[in-house]
Amino acid sequence: MLIDSHVNLHAPQFAEDQAEVIARARQAGVALMVTICDRVSAFEAVHQIAMAHDDIWCTVGTHPHEAKENPGLMAENLIALAQRPKVVGIGEAGLDLYYNHSPIAVQEAVFRQHVAAARATGLPLVVHTRDADAMMADILEEEHARGAFKILLHCYTGGAELAARAAALGAWFSVSGIASFKAAEDVRAVIRDMPADRIIVETDCPYLAPVPMRGRRNEPAFLPHVLAKLAEIRGWSAAEAEARTESAFFALFDRVARP
């Protein structure tokens, strides 16, 4: 089963042809998708997409770029929205010191509220992290010591040390089209050492289209290219890569019903 664990179907890039994009995904063999909430103010639009399709689920959260939109966000707000049908994750949330679109103190405070919500609900925390390896690892370890929660480092492009520290906490990792980029050998090196039973795949569409689609708007229909690259990196057959990522997905997103 092909599962796209991270799509952004409410993005404006899909405003004109969202239905066609979803149809193409199904034609490409994508059986399930998780559409991601990038800010709580967009949750209703994200949730509506999930509710309209049997094979689409969703998350609730605020991306670090958008943390400044709601600096006073509390875990209770996320927990309440997470009770809605078809909400299967908290996030994406985290730290982004590359763009710094929100002040770092605000990013951290909002991220910790997401951690608390993930801990309280038992839902996996979908983590975005960029140029913040040491700080992210410290926060995850500190928060995990207060009480365990499921961690997904989505679209992982961080270093080996953060990957190792997160793996020690039982984290899952998601591989995206970046793994196919010519200049991403450092990313591929980390993927080779990820726990084999905790790797899933994503497109992060409409961003990061994989080779040979690079430069185009990304779609979930391009997921087979990501899976093929993962198989190549790990030395798995296509069937093994599909089976392993499917098993890892359902172990992580345990509230998603199997088709």
CATH superfamily of 2-252: Metal-dependent hydrolases (3.20.20.140)
pLDDT digits (tens, 9 = 90+) for 179-231: 999 999 999 999 999 999 999 999 999 999 999 999 999 999 999 999 999 99
Please state the φ and ψ torsions of residue 153, each to the nearest 5 degrees.
-90, 100
What local confidence, expressed as pLDDT, does residue 259 receive?
85
What local confidence, expressed as pLDDT, does residue 170 receive?
98
DSSP tag of 180: G
User: Could you write out the DSSP letters of every residue in 17-28?
Assistant: THHHHHHHHHHT
Q: DSSP character for 130?
A: E
Can you spell out the DSSP letters for 232-250?
Answer: HHHT--HHHHHHHHHHHHH
222 burial via Cβ count (<10 Å: 0-12, 13-18, 19+):
buried
Query: In this structure, what token pair is assigned to residue 177?
Result: 């089209």
CB atoms within 10 A of CB 93: 31
Alpha-helical segments (H) within 82-234: 104-121, 133-146, 160-168, 185-192, 223-234
Residue 210's pLDDT is 98
Q: What is the pLDDT along the chain (259 residues), one digit of tens a residue?
A: 999 999 999 999 999 999 999 999 999 999 999 999 999 999 999 999 999 999 999 999 999 999 999 999 999 999 999 999 999 999 999 999 999 899 999 999 999 999 999 999 999 999 999 999 999 999 999 999 999 999 999 999 999 999 999 999 999 999 999 999 999 999 999 999 999 999 999 999 999 999 999 999 999 999 999 999 999 999 999 999 999 999 999 999 999 988 8
Segments making up each domain of the chain, as ranges:
2-252
Cα atoms in the 13 Å half-sphere on the side-chain side of 172? 27
